[in-house]
Structure 1
Amino acid sequence: MTVRRVPRWMSPHSAEVRTLPAGRWWDAVRAPAAPGARALDLLGDRSGAVIRDGYGGILYWLVPPGEAIDWHLPEVQVLGHGSHVAVPPLRRTKGPGLYWQVPLAYDRECTDPARLHAALSVALSVRTAL
């Protein structure tokens, strides 16, 4: 049996969705599913972990705390200090509901904010051009 190392904030044995504070270990970048999926395609292997809310049609990327707080992208919200994020259990990698679209691992936690901003900018510009 292979045991993946996970960040210390994640409970490796929990089977329940947990609500965790943003701004402590990471901030979360929230984007609608359609442009979020395009951004994820653009990022490819350079994306960190991504949470998908299968019911709400939302993707959440984790980024280092404070590094995206001043972003001004339409339809994108940065959740930092004072916000909370629902986090699925490690093994939940399929819907319905909340799951890891890109699974969390010790070496795949946060996405580079500059790359994510660029990918979301392109994805959103395609959406507005349609």
Structure 2
Amino acid sequence: MTGAKTAVDWLASVAPDPGACRRAWERDSRAVALLPAGKAWDVLILPAELGCPTLDVLTRILDRTGPVLVDFGDARMGFFVPPGTAARWLGTGIRSVGAGTWIVVPYPGRSTGAVRWLVLPDGSGTLTDPALLELAMHEAAADLATREDGQ
């Protein structure tokens, strides 16, 4: 459980009251926290039809990606990237969550039904490099276009 504890500490560190955030998660394993983006991470939210193949590309080229969330219904995926990325990101259909915004985050390793982790935070602060994410998105989009043309 050390990995989950470390991940909890890392995630809760950005909360307005980190102790209260940790206690809320400990009281209810299905609880979510509303955490501010832009401090330890930003989040780029992709539609799942692009996010899933993008994650596949990333896992082929990296030993470890940053954390990845998926929403209820698996419609959207959120890739955790370094703070400041959202302010510079340009991409059609990609939502960027950065400074001044908040994101719903479940306890690491537990599903809430509304949002769940596809890639758990490791607690060390590992994030996905936005340049690699962009390259993976391009490769995934090209693969999708090739498949669509072949049908």
Structure 1 residue runs without a partner (length 5+): none
Q: Which residue of 2 aligns with 1:116?
A: 133
Aligned counterparts of 2:123 and 2:109: Cα–Cα separation in 1: 14
Instruction: Tell me which protein shows more helix as a share of its residues.
Output: 2
Amino acid at match of 2:39: R
**TM-score, normalised by the number of residues in structure 1:** 0.83
Q: 2:10 touches 2:125 (CA, 8 Å); kept in 1?
A: no
Q: Give the one of 16, 22, 26 matched to 2:37.
A: 22
Q: Which has the higher contact order (CA 8 A, sep 6+)?
A: 1
1:1-130 residue pairs with structure 2 within 5 A?
Answer: 2-4=1-3, 5-6=6-7, 7-10=9-12, 14=25, 15=29, 16-44=31-59, 45-55=63-73, 57-92=75-110, 94=111, 96-107=113-124, 109-127=126-144, 130=148
Q: CA deviation at 1:113?
A: 1.2
Q: Provide the alpha-carbon RMSD of the alignment.
A: 2.2
Percent of counterpart pairs with the same letter? 30
Structure 2 residue runs without a partner (length 5+): 13-20
Give aligned pairs, total: 128
Bigger mean CA offset, 51-60 vs 14-23:
51-60
Looking at CA atoms only, which structure, 1 or 2, has the larger radius of gyration? Answer: 2
- Cα distance, 1:68–1:105 mapped onto 2, change above 3 Å: same
Aligned counterparts of 1:58 and 1:48: Cα–Cα separation in 2: 16
Q: Which residue of 1 aligns with 2:15?
A: none
